[in-house]
Structure formats: structure tokens, C-alpha cells
Amino acid sequence: MTPGVEIDAAVLATLVTALPQVAALHDGHFGEIATLLPGRRVPGVRIRPGEITIGVTGRYPATVAEIDAAVRVAIGPADRPVHVHVGDIAAPTATLVAAVVQEFP
């Protein structure tokens, strides 16, 4: 991100939710990870002058380290510190469970 260019929370949300390691955005226990815009709220992305926080629900079987790395690559370089908050891990899907059961009968 270029210094002096406004950061669009909705664009960051779209980039992050497109990742295979991310099941959804996560706005924290009390909804504190969010950006308030005129007429709407972008949950899971908090942009402050001194930092950016991205809150996500990870997708099993990705590890927290893999999720963190993928989010940082997706949003690209920033002009301020980026914090990635993994608030939850989504349970495996029925398709994944079936594949594991077939692999290990």
C-alpha cells in the first residue's frame, strides 16, 4: 500500500475472504474488529492511523501460521503494522471428513 493512499476496508475484506485458508471474517468477541463507514460496517477489518487489524475464522486444516502468512500476502505491504487475529477455526467440511475416512479406513 502506498503511503498517503487511503486504505479501503471493503477491498481488504474481499481479498482476505477469497483465501482458501479463511472461512470468514471475524469481528472479535464484542465486535471490536470493524471499520465503520457511512451507512455500513465492515466486520473483521479495523483500520486505524497506527495499525491495521484483520480478524478471521480460519479454515481447517490450515495452521494459524499459514493463515497469518496468507492474509499478509493477500493484503500486500502496508504503511503501518498489520495484526492478524485468528478468532476461530471452522470445523472440517463433510467432504474433507469423507476424504480422510476413505484415506484411513
pLDDT in tens, 23-73: 999 999 999 999 998 899 999 999 999 999 999 999 999 999 999 999 999
Q: What is the pTM of this model?
A: 0.83
Q: State the Cα–Cα distance between residues 30 and 98, nearest whole angstrom.
A: 35
Measuring CA to CA, which residue among 35, 30, 25, 41 is closest to residue 85?
25
Q: Residue 2: which pLDDT band, with cuts at 50, 70 and 90?
A: very low
